[in-house]
């Protein structure tokens, strides 16, 4: 019975050992990861991700980066993140977990300085624009007659050439002068005075621009003396 018990215990210990060893081996297999490299040019760079345009792929590849991601040059010396910009050629060392690519190291390569292409600004030639000038012609006409009515803003003149009196409008810009060109007070302008009106016509409206007040002609009185002589015979 002891022998059987010992063999049973030994068998149990062997089975437990094999089970534990198999479990450890299984854990080691699951923890094993493969580091892959990919070369390309940085098309986008951020604090948590880097997008690489490769020559093999048509679409840019996105890699996750973190504080543990190392940035080095081709000689293995650390590179400051401030110098990592879009357009630089790089080699990305990464591992794949599901569909996620995690960058563990990024080797920044030297970029040949591309010659600057000078863009000559286009010469803009100003084309002169011809603006048609609008000429407004104002014709000033004169009319001589006698004032028959002089009111606020208008005056009526009786002329020898028109059977009906003519109505003229006037304003503050209308000037009043005598025959010598000396200004005349508007208070002295009244009905019965002979005048010459300078005016413009817009449609049927006559607007006086200047009024020349003429002197009233003097009426000479002629006296006839008749002498009667009576001869007494």
The two counts, helices (H) then strands (E), for the chain are 1, 12
Pair 99, 49 in one domain: yes
Beta carbons of 208 and 155 less than 8 angstroms apart = yes
Q: Does residue 10 lie within any of the structural domains?
A: no
Q: Which residue has the higher pLDDT, 65 or 16?
A: 65
Q: Which of 82-96, 133-147, 217-231 has the highest mean pLDDT?
A: 82-96
For residue 173, give the DSSP letter: T
Residues 86 and 145 in one domain: no
Report the range out of 113-122, 206-215, 219-228 with the highest average pLDDT. 206-215
Domain final residue pick, 108, 132, 150: 108
Q: Which carries the bigger pLDDT value, residue 58 or residue 145?
A: 145
Q: Is residue 231 part of a domain?
A: no
Compute, in degrees rounded to 10, the torsion defined by CA atoms 119, 120, 121, 125.
-150
Task: Looking at the structure, tell me whether residues 41 and 104 fall in a common domain.
Answer: yes
Of 66, 90, 108, the domain-final residue: 108
CATH number of residue 173's parent domain: 2.40.50.320
- For 64, the domain range is 36-108
> Quick one: pLDDT at residue 10?
52
pLDDT digits (tens, 9 = 90+) for 43-73: 888 878 999 888 776 788 899 988 889 999 9
Residue 100 lies in a domain: yes
Q: Contacts for 90-93 with beta carbons within 8 Å, 24 or more apart?
A: 90/39, 90/40, 90/41, 90/42, 90/52, 91/37, 91/38, 91/39, 92/37, 92/38, 92/39, 92/40, 92/50, 92/52, 92/63, 93/35, 93/36, 93/37
Let me know if residue 167 belongs to a domain: yes
Q: Is residue 103 part of a domain?
A: yes
pLDDT tens track for 168-187: 999 989 999 999 999 999 89
89 and 147 assigned to the same domain: no
Query: How many domains would you assign to the chain?
Result: 2
| Global confidence as pTM | 0.37
Q: How far apart are CA 21 and CA 17, in angstroms?
A: 6
CATH number of the domain that residue 59 is part of: 2.40.50.140
What is residue 188's DSSP assignment? Answer: G
Q: Let me know if residue 202 belongs to a domain.
A: yes
Q: Do the domain assignments include residue 232? A: no
Higher pLDDT, 120 or 30: 30
Both 86 and 148 in one domain: the answer is: no
Question: Among 90, 108, 126, where does a domain finish?
Answer: 108
Q: Which of 79-88, 158-167, 218-227 has the lowest mean pLDDT?
A: 218-227
Structural domain includes residue 152: yes
Phi–psi pair at 223, nearest 5 degrees: -105, 130
**What are residue 229's DSSP bridge partners?**
none
91 and 147 fall within a common domain: no
Does pLDDT of 14 surpass 70? no
């Amino acid at each position: 019975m002891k022998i059987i018990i010992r063999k049973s215990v030994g068998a149990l210990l062997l089975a437990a050992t094999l089970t534990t060893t198999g479990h450890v081996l299984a854990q080691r297999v699951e923890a094993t990861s493969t580091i892959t490299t990919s070369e390309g040019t940085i098309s986008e760079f951020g604090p948590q991700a880097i997008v690489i345009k490769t020559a093999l792929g048509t679409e840019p590849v996105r890699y996750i980066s973190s504080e543990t991601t190392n940035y080095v040059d081709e000689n293995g010396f650390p590179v400051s993140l401030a110098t990592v910009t879009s357009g630089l050629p790089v080699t990305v060392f990464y591992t794949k977990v599901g569909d996620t690519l995690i960058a563990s190291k990024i080797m920044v390569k030297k970029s040949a300085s591309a010659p600057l292409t000078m863009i000559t600004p286009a010469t803009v030639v100003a084309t002169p624009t011809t603006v048609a000038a609008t000429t407004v012609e104002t014709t000033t006409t004169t009319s001589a007659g006698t004032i028959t009515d002089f009111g606020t803003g208008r005056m009526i003149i009786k002329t020898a050439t028109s059977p009906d009196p003519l109505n003229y409008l006037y304003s503050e810009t209308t000037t009043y002068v005598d025959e010598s060109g000396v200004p005349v007070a508007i208070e002295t302008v009244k009905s019965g005075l002979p005048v010459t009106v300078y005016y413009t016509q817009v449609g049927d409206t006559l607007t006086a621009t200047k009024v020349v007040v003429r002197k009233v002609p003097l009426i000479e009185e002629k006296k006839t003396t008749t002498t009667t002589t009576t001869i007494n015979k």
